[in-house]
A and B are shown apart, each in its own frame.
Chain A
């Protein structure tokens, strides 16, 4: 069964460092997303991406964040200068039609 894959599964980074989280969405999907889940809190929408551009972003997705689809298969989330409060599980997700969203296993980011 096709699945969304994410790397790394866990990353520890120093505050102020740049982090790139990588994702390979399901191959025929057209919509791509990042969500995050701070420990003990709700899963929150960050950004959606369609047709090579951001289609929607939340208030969380400020100038520190960026997304890119550098080639036909990868979808990345970059955090330019990490803060302690960026520590969370980051989920990549994809969808074919934009309504049913499939998630990856997540990347744990710990900022120290």
Chain B
């Protein structure tokens, strides 16, 4: 069965430090992979996505993620975290049925940023 694992429930980093949020997936075919961010009281905003091609994808707000098929991972990175990045981050895999996909989400990683 398809699944997404985000091993870190809560991470705290200092402002200006680098960030890596881990995501592992289980999916039988080539996955469509996504990262979403949810700020307090807000909806889910798409940060970036991977469908095919270059395994390093760039997203909004200075985030990037790297798809590693051999490790079934799609980790999210940012070289220098800003206080406004404090939020909850969700990794998701798109389960495609024909042309349409539904998303299976991980449990999320809450990011706190300390000054």
CB-nearest residue of chain A to B101: A99
Interface residues of B in 29-50 (CB under 8 A from A): 32, 34, 36, 42-46, 49
Q: Are B106 and A42 in contact (CB under 8 A)?
A: yes
Give bound CA distance, A106 to B38, whole Å. 11
Chain A residues in 8 Å Cβ range of B97: 55-56
Query: Does A75 have its Cβ within 8 Å of any Cβ on chain B?
Result: no
Choose from B32, B43, B106 the contact partner of A105 (Cβ within 8 Å): B43
How many Å from the CB of B37 to the closest CB on chain A?
Answer: 11
- B32 contacts which chain A residues (CB < 8 A)? 99
- B46's nearest neighbour on chain A, judged by CB, is A102
Any B CB within 8 A of the CB of A43: yes
B90 located at the interface, meaning its Cβ lies under 8 Å from any Cβ of chain A in the complex: yes
Interface size range of chain B in the complex: 20 to 34
Q: How many A-B residue pairs have CB under 8 A?
A: 62
Q: In the complex, what residue of chain A is closest to B97 when comparing beta carbons?
A: A56
For chain A, what secondary structure do more than half of its interface residues adopt (helix, strand, loop), or is it mixed?
strand
B43 and A106 form a contact (CB under 8 A): yes
Q: Which residues of A contact B105 (CB under 8 A)?
A: 42-44
- B43 contacts A99, C-beta separation under 8 Å: no
Indicate with 1 or 0, residue by residue over A11-47, a CB within 8 angstroms of chain B CB atoms: 0000000000000000000010101000001111100
* Residues of chain B with a CB closer than 8 A to A101's CB: 34, 46, 94, 101, 103
Q: Which of A33, A42, A56, A98 contacts B99 (CB 8 A)?
A: A98
